[in-house]
């Protein structure tokens, strides 16, 4: 069994709850209050700035040029690809750069990113990869699930969010990270694998907290 299969099994119940979360479901059904989505957009934009820093730590921790290139490419993909979706929504929602700069990260947001940065800075390349995987992989799973809702992809507002996270470019980024995690898992002891699994579970719990935070607009 691949290490990623073990990781998925450890969080399946948590991830299944994402699909029925009122915020997530609201995107798929096109019924989510846009004010909640606006709150989410700003918080997620702030989150992605730190998320990109975790990927940058992968460049530092990498032991081969190929892995360095993979992490470097993904940093660029986040800052100049994924975040472009956010910038497009921000323009549509009337969110100014000043508003983003003047908005503080919520407690759930700060706790999540600080956790990822802490384990990545103190740990190995495996810690970096696993801490990143929960967000990247679960968004692909969520968007894939939402794409099956009748009319979701045709929704003129939320459709592009779903399409962005099932795009071929995004799928390739997630697959690269999955392959890296599986490769690293082949060379680790059971104790090390258990530690990485704990990080993955914690990050998955933080993802659920993030959805709750967005839906309730909690600072």
* The predicted structure's pLDDT at residue 119: 96
* The predicted structure's pLDDT at residue 24: 97
* The predicted structure's pLDDT at residue 144: 96
* The predicted structure's pLDDT at residue 135: 95
The answer to whether 73 touches 175, Cβ cutoff 8 Å, is: no
* The predicted structure's pLDDT at residue 91: 83
pTM: 0.92
* The predicted structure's pLDDT at residue 163: 93
* The predicted structure's pLDDT at residue 186: 92
* The predicted structure's pLDDT at residue 1: 86
* The predicted structure's pLDDT at residue 213: 97
Is residue 172 annotated as a catalytic residue, yes or no?
no
* The predicted structure's pLDDT at residue 75: 86
Instruction: Give every residue of the chain whose pLDDT is below 50, as ranges.
Output: none
For the chain, domain boundaries: 3-216
Q: Which of 29, 168, 207, 218 is flagged as catalytic?
A: 207
From residue 153, alpha-carbon distances to 133, 140, 162 in Å are 25, 14, 7
* The predicted structure's pLDDT at residue 157: 92
DSSP helix/strand/coil, 150:
coil
* The predicted structure's pLDDT at residue 38: 93
Say yes or no: domain 3-216 is CATH 3.40.430.10: no
**The tokens 């802490």 sit on which residue?**
118
């Amino acid at each position: 069994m691949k290490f990623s299969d073990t990781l998925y099994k450890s969080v399946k119940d948590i991830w299944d709850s994402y699909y029925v979360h009122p915020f997530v479901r609201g995107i798929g059904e096109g019924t989510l209050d846009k004010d909640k989505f606006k709150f989410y957009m700003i918080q997620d934009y702030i989150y992605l700035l730190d998320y990109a820093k975790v990927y940058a730590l992968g460049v530092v921790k990498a032991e081969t040029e190929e892995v360095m290139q993979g992490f470097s490419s993904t940093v660029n993909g986040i800052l100049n690809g994924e975040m472009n979706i956010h910038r497009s929504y921000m323009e549509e929602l009337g969110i100014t750069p000043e508003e983003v700069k003047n908005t503080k990260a919520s407690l759930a947001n700060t706790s999540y990113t600080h956790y990822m940065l802490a384990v990545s800075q103190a740990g190995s390349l495996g810690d970096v990869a696993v801490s990143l995987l929960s967000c990247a992989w679960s968004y692909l799973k969520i968007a894939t699930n939402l794409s099956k809702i009748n009319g979701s992809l045709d929704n003129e507002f939320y459709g592009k969010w779903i399409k962005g996270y099932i795009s071929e470019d995004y799928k390739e980024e997630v697959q690269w990270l999955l392959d890296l995690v599986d490769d690293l898992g082949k060379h680790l002891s059971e104790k090390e694998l258990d530690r990485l699994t704990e990080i993955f579970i914690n990050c998955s719990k933080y993802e659920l907290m993030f959805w709750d935070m967005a839906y309730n607009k909690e600072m």
